Chains A and B, each alone.
Chain A
Amino acid sequence: MSKKRTRLEVMHDILQVVKNKNGKIKPTHILYKSNLSHQMMEEYMKELIEKKFIIENSEKTGRTYSITQKGMNFLDKYGLIKEFTSSFGLD
């Protein structure tokens, strides 16, 4: 049985998906790749936008998301963030 992911892990997984798609991705693709319900994904996307990790782009073909520099920094330092938060019981 797989372990329940923490909020930070889910955020990391979503950002990784966005990054892997050259920083531009549609919501359906994130839903498919992140293994979340639609409602949960919307909540996380809202949080990631508020925290300025991703930005939403409105295009003719629909909404797309791209990763920001802050989001890239989060991915770069994710090992440190995860280790620190789990060590100090913050996750």
Chain B
Amino acid sequence: MALIHLVPNWFLRFDIGLEILFAIVTFVVAYYSYKIYKLSDQEESRILSFAFLSISISYLIKAVVNLLIISDVDDKISNVSFANINTLQNVGAFANSAYIVLFTFGLVLLAYMTFKIRSLRALSLLLATNVFVIFLSQNRILSFYLLSSLLTIYISAHYYLEYIKKNNYKNLALFFAFIFLFFSGIIFIFSKVYYISYVIGHLLELGSYLIILLILISAIRKK
């Protein structure tokens, strides 16, 4: 299985930089959530921490593999052999599977966090259903992006309802952050056909993680 995107040449290394940035932002959120969990023993903070840690690792894997593939292609562009292509495909396939599982796990945890019930059985069922649907599907990439979009729209709805209930503008900002992630997932589906989809998808992700970062900074500034 491979995540195939058409990428404009000028965006080739820029995308890796963005993925590393997403990994850092999500890691910082995970770190502070865990810190809040240690202070308050609040289960939701722990779930948020693991969710963002999982998403952070998924982006890191994606960035490292993209970097390896690009440098490998650069090195061997004049001497492409079937062995090289096979190695690249194997590494890429494994890394993409890891990315899909970790990113899905992160979103499943975020969706689970919004529930009022706490049950390991419910969480494992949710995760298993998502992973099986993706990996047993004829078109895994399409299933992955569609399921991610479904989960992000569910998480967005949670933040919108929180905003309605508490009138906290930060919840509204997080609603938009997850709406951006939702649209990025939808747009990535078309990156097999259109170059620009890959760029727009990344820019929407950038918008989303910048909002999340700003919310985090404003929260931790108040001691």
Contacts and interface: CB of A to CB of B under 8 A. Distances in A.
B71 interface: no
Contact of B42 (A79, A83, A85, A89): A85
A85 B39 CA distance: 12
Nearest to B161: A89
Nearest to B175: A89
Contacts of A83: 218-220, 222
Nearest to A80: B223
A88 B40 contact: no
A84 B44 CA distance: 11
Contacts of B162: 89
Contacts of B40: 8, 74, 81, 85
B148 to A, nearest CB: 20
B220 A84 contact: yes
Interface string B161-174: 01000101011001
Contact of B39 (A73, A87, A88): A73
Contacts of A85: 36, 40, 42, 44-45
Contacts of A60: none
B223 A79 contact: yes
A74 B114 CA distance: 24
Interface extent on B, as a size class? 20 to 34
Interface in B2-31: none
A6 B215 CA distance: 21
- SS of B interface (majority): helix
Contacts of B168: 86-87
Interface residues of A, number: 17
A86 B166 contact: yes
A90 B48 contact: yes
A8 B40 CA distance: 8
A77 B39 contact: yes
A77 B41 CA distance: 13
A89 B32 contact: no
A61 to B, nearest CB: 30
Contacts of A87: 168, 170-171, 174, 215-216, 218-219
A43 B33 CA distance: 25
A36 to B, nearest CB: 19
A86 B223 contact: no
Interface of A: 8, 51, 53, 73-74, 77, 79-81, 83-90
Interface of B: 32-33, 36, 39-42, 44-45, 48, 113-114, 158-159, 162, 166, 168, 170-171, 174, 215-216, 218-220, 222-223
